[in-house]
Structure 1
Amino acid sequence: MATYETFASVYDAIMDDSLYDKWTDFSLRHFPKGKKKLLELACGTGTQSVRFAQAGYEVTGLDLSQDMLDLAKKRAQSAKQSVTFIQGNMLDLSQVGQFDLVTCYSDSICYMADEVEVGDVFAQVSACLADDGVFIFDVHSTYQMEQVFPGYTYHENREDFAFVWDTYADEAPYSVVHELTFFVQDEDGRFTRFDEIHEERTYEILTYDILLEQAGFTDVKVYADFEDKSPNESSARWFFVAKK
C-alpha cells in the first residue's frame, strides 16, 4: 500500500461513520422528490458519494486531491456502485456540467480563504445547478469557532497509528488552526510521521445568507446539528438548504 493510501486510511479510521448516516438522512429529507443528478463537492475518499449512490442518486464526486479520488474509486467499486469522480476545485465548476442537487459537507466551505472565495463557490454552484436545484452545505457555527475549538486537544493511540490533534484560535474573526500529527506504521513495522495544518473560518449566518442571495439563491433555510431545527446560540454546526 502506498504511503498516502495508508495516511488516508487513517482519516477513514478516525472518522465517525455515524456522521455519514446523519449527512445522508438530512440530505434525503431535504432533497426535492424527482431530482436525481447530484454533485458532491469535497468528496474525499468517497464514503458519502457511495451512500448517495446506494440511495439511488446519479452521483458525481469532486475533490482537489487525485490521491483521495483514487481511493474513492476503489471504495465505489468495492460497494458495486457507479460513481463518477472528478479532480477539480470547487472555485471553478465550469466544466462539470449541470446538476439537480449539490452538496458540500464536513465543513469544507470553512476551508475557503475568505468570504470572497465563499461567494465565488456559491456563484459556481449556482451556475451548475438547474432551475429549482438545491444546494446543501454545512459549516461550523461561530459558537464552535469561539467557544469549543480554541484550546481543543485530542490524542488517540492504536496499534498501527497514533494521532494528535490540537486547535488554536487564529487572527481573523471566527477562525482556527488545526495542527494534526499522525504516526503511521508501514509494512516494515516502522512508524512514519505526517504533519498537517488545517485553517478554517466561518461567518455569521447573515453573511452566508447575503452571499447566497448574491449568487442567485432565492429560498434559503438554516438548520442546526443534523436536525430540522433552527440554530440556537450553542449550535455547533449549521446546515444551509438553498434553492435556486
Structure 2
Amino acid sequence: MTSFSYGEFAYVYDELMKDVPYDRWVEYAARKLQENGLSAPSILDIGCGTGEVSVRLAKAGYDVTGVDLSDDMLTVAQDKAQGEGVQLSLFQQDMSQLELPSSFDCAVIFCDSLNYLETEDQVKGTFKSVYDHLEPGGLLLFDVHSLYKVNHVFGENTFTYNEEELSYIWSCFQGEHPNSVEHDLTFFVYDERKDAYDRFDELHKQRTYSVDTYKQWLTEAGFSKVETTADFTSDSPTDKAERILFCVQK
C-alpha cells in the first residue's frame, strides 16, 4: 500500500472529475458579473486546482489569476492553459493568507473548495483576505456543501468507480467536527510500464456551516450584500438543497 500524495492525485484528478459540471460554475459567474455591471472584470480563481474553471473563464475573455495550495495542481493548470492557448497568472498560496500584487473585480471559490478548510478561523481569514483583494463593488462568488449534503447525502456511504486504467473505492465517514465528513479514498492506477496497478490511499476532510453562520462571517469581514441560491438555480436554499451558492459584494 502506497501513501497517495497530492502530487500524484493532481495527475489523475481530471479523470476522476470529468463529469463535474464546471460549465455551470462558469455560467453562474458570467450571469452574476453581468447582473452587477462587470463587463470585463479581472477574476481571482481561488482553489483553482488543475485549472478547469480558470481556463474556461480565460477562454471567455476574462483576465484570470489562479491560486492553489498544491504546486502540482498548478503545474497541471499551467500545462492546460498553454494547451488551450490562454494566459493564466498562477500563485501557490493559502486562501486564508493571500498576498497578491494586485486587486480584482471578482473572486471565485468554486467546487466546494472552501469546505476543505478545517477551522472556523481559516474560513473567516479567507473572507477577510478576499475582501482585502477586491476592488470596491467587487464580487465574491463561492459555493459550499449544505448541512443536508454533509450529514445525509455523504453520511456513511460508499461510492465506486471502475475503468480500465483507473478505479477507486470512496468511503464517507462522519468527521471529528460537527457537520464534517471524511472521504477515505483508495485508488488503483494502471502503470503501463509495469503492466500492473499501483494502489494509493488518500484522506480528504471537509467541513461546512449553516447559511446564517457564513452570512455572519461575511458581514464581519466587511461585505455588505449577501445573496444565496441553491443547486445552480435562482431558488433560495431549502432544507434539502445540496449546494449553496453565494454572491457577495464588497
The amino acid that maps onto 1:209 is: K
Alignment partner, residue 98 of structure 1: 103
Cα separation, 1, equivalents of 2:114 and 2:14: 20
TM-score by length of 1: 0.95
Aligned to 1:30: 32
Looking at structure 2, the residues matched to 210 and 7 of structure 1 have their Cα atoms a distance apart, in angstroms, of: 35
Distance 2:8 2:196 in 1: 13
The secondary structure found in structure 2 opposite 1:91 is helix
2:10 equivalent in structure 1: 8
1:75 to 77, 80, 96: 80
Matches within 5 A, 1:113-124: 113-124=118-129
Correspondences of 1:19-168 after superposition (within 5 Å)? 19-31=21-33, 32=36, 33-168=38-173
Give the residue type in structure 1 aligned to 2:199. Answer: R
Which string of whole-angstrom CA distances, capped at 9 and with x for unpartnered residues, describes residues 135-172 of structure 1? Answer: 00000000001111111211111111111111011232
- AA of the residue aligned to 2:70: S
3-state SS, counterpart of residue 213 of structure 2: helix
Measured against aligned partners, the alpha-carbon deviations of 1:152-197 in whole angstroms (never above 9, x if no partner) come to 2111111111111110112321111000111111231221111111
- Using the size of structure 2 for normalisation, the TM-score is 0.93
2:236 matches 1:234: no
For residues 43 and 192 of structure 2, the distance between their equivalents in structure 1, rounded to whole angstroms, comes to 38
5+ unaligned residues in a row in structure 2: which ranges?
none
Cα displacement string for residues 67-95 of structure 1 (whole angstroms, at most 9, x for unaligned residues): 11111011001111111111111111123
CA shift digits 1:4-47 (9 cap, x unpaired):
77643422112144510111111111113334100000000111
Counterpart in 2 of 1:191? 197
**Distance in 2 of aligned mates of 1:91 and 1:196:** 23
Which whole-Å CA distance do the structure 2 matches of 1:17 and 1:89 have between them?
A: 27
Distance 1:172 1:210 in 2: 20
Cα distance in 2 for residues equivalent to 1:89 and 1:116: 13
- The answer to whether the 8 Å contact 1:35/1:101 transfers is no
- Residues 4 and 130 from structure 1, CA distance in 2 versus in 1: closer, same or farther, beyond 3 angstroms? closer
In 2: Cα distance, 1:6 partner to 1:208 partner = 33
Q: Paired residues, what number?
A: 242
Q: Identity over the aligned pairs, expressed in percent? A: 40
Q: Check whether the contact 2:187–2:201 (CA below 8 A) recurs between aligned residues.
A: yes
Instruction: Indicate conservation of the 8 Å contact 1:136/1:240, yes or no.
Output: yes
1:172 to 174, 177, 200: 177
Runs of at least 5 residues in structure 1 that lack an aligned partner in the other structure: none
